[in-house]
Amino acid sequence: MSSDFETYEQDFGTLTAEITNKIGRIPKLAGEEKTQLVINVDKQLEEVRELLEQMDLELREIPVQSRGMYTNRMKSYKQEMEKLEKDFKRSRIAYSDEVRNELLGAEGSSSESQRAHLLDNTERLERSSRRLEAGYQIAVETEQVGQEILANLHTDREKIQRSRDRVSNTHSPPPPKPVYEYSTLLPCFLNFSYLCIFPFIFFTFIFVNLYL
């Protein structure tokens, strides 16, 4: 895989060298010739972006123990790409002294300054947009983490509640003993008393008649 990465490196070097040369020529041109060169450079920059994406993919396939060296090289290539894009933006509105004087005359310097100022403002807006996007991404990720925490808390709460229910059922008091009403027990007691007293009186009567 490292051989593929190195092949992409060679292509990257060739393309960026051509782009650098053309970016240096853009301010020296005017009219249709300049427009065509700008279009050509824009297409080549897109090719470099695609090439960097391929290099990123190849980098992931390189063994971890060998990846560090290629990672540093990849970082420098991306930085070089950023510089090319900035130089290209400036070159599109820039003119050499000869072309500027020819097209704009004495007012050329003032107009060039305004264009440069506009470019700086555009770059600041782009940086602000990237920061806003990054902030929005952080907010989304924070919301997702919060939802996961709430879901975990809800699950833990249900587990605790089930544990409490089991403990409550284990320690529940025994069922109450049956309570008998006096109105039910009294007739039973009287019947028992009659059965005990009448035999006693009967045998007492017989004993008295026999021995007196």
Q: What pLDDT was estimated at residue 102?
A: 56
Q: What pLDDT was estimated at residue 79?
A: 94
Nearest CA to 6 out of 64, 54, 63, 50 is that of: 54
Q: What pLDDT was estimated at residue 77?
A: 94
Q: What pLDDT was estimated at residue 207?
A: 55
Domains of the chain: which residue ranges?
A: 1-94, 109-170
* CATH number attached to the domain at 1-94: 1.20.58.400
Per-residue pLDDT tens digits of the chain, which is 212 residues long = 567 888 999 999 999 999 999 999 998 888 899 999 999 999 999 999 999 999 999 988 888 888 888 899 999 999 999 999 999 999 888 765 555 555 555 455 556 667 777 777 787 777 777 777 777 678 777 777 777 787 778 788 888 888 887 777 775 555 555 544 445 555 554 555 555 555 556 566 565 555 55
| Residues 23/70, Cβ–Cβ less than 8 Å | no
Long-range contacts of 9-14 (CB under 8 A, 24+ apart): 9/55, 9/73, 9/77, 11/51, 12/48, 12/51, 12/52, 12/55, 12/77
Residues 6+ apart with CB under 8 A from 79: none
Residue 7 tokens read as 């092949």
What predicted TM-score, i.e. pTM, was given to this entire model? 0.46
Count Cβ atoms within 10 A of the Cβ of residue 186 and give its class: 0-12 exposed, 13-18 middle, 19 or more buried. exposed
Through-space distance between the first and last CA atoms of the chain, rounded to whole angstroms: 135
Instruction: Kindly tell me the sign of the dihedral angle through the C-alpha atoms of 117, 121, 122, 127.
Output: positive
* Neighbouring C-beta atoms of residue 28, cutoff 10 Å: 16
Q: What pLDDT was estimated at residue 92?
A: 86
Q: What pLDDT was estimated at residue 175?
A: 56
